[in-house]
Chains A and B, each alone.
Chain A
């Protein structure tokens, strides 16, 4: 049996037992997603690698807290990476990467991702397309919240916009994404 034949959950279970082969397989499977996220948030290769490494260390230490009922392994792992990267950004007082640049990167990715498995490609491209299709102010507010952990108050101060308006943009943007996903699922 090859590690690539194992499900994400089985590989995580092997990783948790400290098996070197399973650990290497787990890191190889997720490293580009984890590093891609940390460098998106931090914009600095050295800090991004350090946080990505720490993400796998935390995952190894806390593998027993993973609950399959709460979502896939990738979501659990990327949440760890996001939180660590946001902590590092706050600690360093780092200036976030321009959210409009991030949004444009997301749009360019629509035809990429050649290594992803078919399902993940489909789901990600669909959501990416919906995000890119949001009104610019809603998209910007969501990108700042998701990738930079900015609160509505902070976004309002950055953009000179009343906090209530930012809250509405965030809420409308997220609810619109959910609604459109539901509509597409219903018509599939």
Chain B
């Protein structure tokens, strides 16, 4: 058997073609077999693949013929068809819910400050009724040392969802999201990449059963957490 460094050197010569998706079958199989057990070569392949992706993205942008967007939407049948069933028991944030939620969250905040204002309360009720929702709530996100890091908004409806806004200090990067239920169970949701300081996702767990949410920036933290208050209905 070759010493690892010699073997790696032979495989690495193949990695550029593998990254570009043009390696022939035999070479590809040989490289993949090695990559399964060599983290260094996998890292090398990841780096080259990232450059290959960027090269693909260099193609000059060009607007498609007029009506393209409508033809795509038509092929998907989205104007008339109902939403598809959830995958893996998880439905992500509906954009319509996000729009409604943003308006309703504003109404919630204003209603809290001016509880006597019937007009605002009416707006809140109308927003909930429009989405067949039950309530909205919000909680502050904190780092482990108690520093404020942002806000999580929750919506109890169908589906229920969580929407995060993070302060600029935490406003980008890859995050792992975890929900802790009131029975103490921890449920991990798919990781997401925060770009513009906000992120929303539908949750398979009813809001009333969520004790807290945790966001952990990858790979080394920090972890942000917010306990959700119990809402009496």
Query: Which residues of A approach B to under 8 Å, CB–CB?
Result: 1, 3, 5-11, 13-14, 16-25, 27-28, 31-33, 35-37, 39-41, 45, 48-49, 52-53, 56-57, 60, 64, 67-69, 71-72, 74-75, 78-79, 82-83, 105-106, 108-109, 112-113, 115-116, 123-124, 127-128, 131, 142, 145-147, 149-153, 167, 170-171, 174-175, 177-178, 181
Size band of the B side of the interface? 35 or more
Q: Which residues of B contact A127 (CB under 8 A)?
A: 51, 54-55, 58
A60 touches B57 (CB 8 A): no
- A interface, by DSSP: helix, strand, loop or mixed? helix
Cα–Cα, bound, A72→B192 (Å): 11
A49 touches B56 (CB 8 A): no
Q: Which residues of B contact A64 (CB under 8 A)?
A: 87-88
Of B16, B60, B68, which is within 8 A of A31 by CB?
Answer: B68
B residues 158-188 in Cβ contact with A at 8 Å: 174
B76 touches A57 (CB 8 A): yes
A115-B64 CB under 8 A given contacts A56-B72, A174-B16, A178-B47: no
Q: How far is the CB of A141 from chain B (nearest CB, A)?
A: 10
Q: Which residues of A contact B55 (CB under 8 A)?
A: 127, 131, 142, 146, 177
The CB with the most chain A CB atoms within 10 A, among B55, B73, B84, B99, is that of B55
- B interface, by DSSP: helix, strand, loop or mixed? mixed
Q: How far is the CB of A45 from chain B (nearest CB, A)?
A: 7
- Nearest 8 Cβ contacts at the A-B interface: A22-B95, A14-B95, A13-B92, A7-B195, A68-B193, A35-B64, A36-B62, A75-B53
B61 touches A36 (CB 8 A): yes
